[in-house]
Structure 1
Amino acid sequence: MEKTLSRVLIGNYSELPERLGKTVIIADKEIAVFKLASGKIRAIENRCPHKGGVLAEGMISGEHVFCPMHNWKISVNDGQAQAPDEGCVDTYDVEIKNGFVYVLVNV
């Protein structure tokens, strides 16, 4: 079955908490959405590649989230774990239009 890129509304930009994660379920995907201190919005897979920790519950510092289970540092830009840890999570494009935030996912 061919997947289609969908633009899914996840909320109002002004209502997203800064430097805190929000969990969003889209089809079969669980996504962590973050509003960084810079105002940028990032969306990544909501599970640490190490032991599956919920990244939306982690601390944000700059452009990284720290897994709440074992403190792995994951980039919210490319999904890569910082060395010496290894692993990666999926990342999703985000659009902001008329004050609303959309995540782009293949469903």
Structure 2
Amino acid sequence: MEKIKEKNGQIKIAHLSELPLLIGKEVVIAGFEIALFKLANGTVKAIENKCPHKQGPLSQGIVSGDYVFCPLHDRKISLEDGLVQKPDVGCVKTYDVTVIDDNIYIDF
């Protein structure tokens, strides 16, 4: 998909209709891997696609509520703030998401 830089500093990265409910989608922007998720309540979240523990692809993780579980070692990561939940430690970068019509934009 073509990436479009918008005037307000946001980048169009996907269409909402392409994003399955509770299943991650990997998007690559300028060499950065981003995991997109559409939650049960319809909100869209974007985080760095690599677990801080062993760089597991978070887009392939299981979503539960506002969390994704790393597919490699089951680390629980908040989709709100990127923090790995205790007793584990670490964090991933989160991105602000805006949905306009069927288009998903992130601040990058």
Question: Given the two structures, how large is their TM-score scaled by the length of structure 1?
Answer: 0.90
Moved over 3 A (4+): none
Give me the whole-angstrom Cα distance separating, in 2, the residues matched to 1:46 and 1:15.
18
Q: Provide the identity percentage.
A: 51
Distance in 2 separating the partners of 1:52 and 1:30: 11
Does 2:83 correspond to 1:76?
Answer: no
Do structure 1's residue 18 and structure 2's residue 21 form an aligned pair? yes
Deviations 1:15-74 (A, max 9, x none): 310000000011131100000011000000000011100000000000000000000000
Which among 80, 90, 94 is matched to residue 91 of structure 1? 94
Structural RMSD (CA): 1.1
Match of 1:50 among 40, 45, 53: 53
In terms of fraction of residues, the more strand-rich structure is 1
The unaligned stretches of length 5 or more in structure 2 are 1-7
AA matched with 2:107: L
Higher relative contact order (CA 8 A, sep 6+): 1
Aligned partners of 2:27 and 2:41: how far apart in 1?
21
Q: Tell me the SS of whatever aligns to 1:10.
A: strand
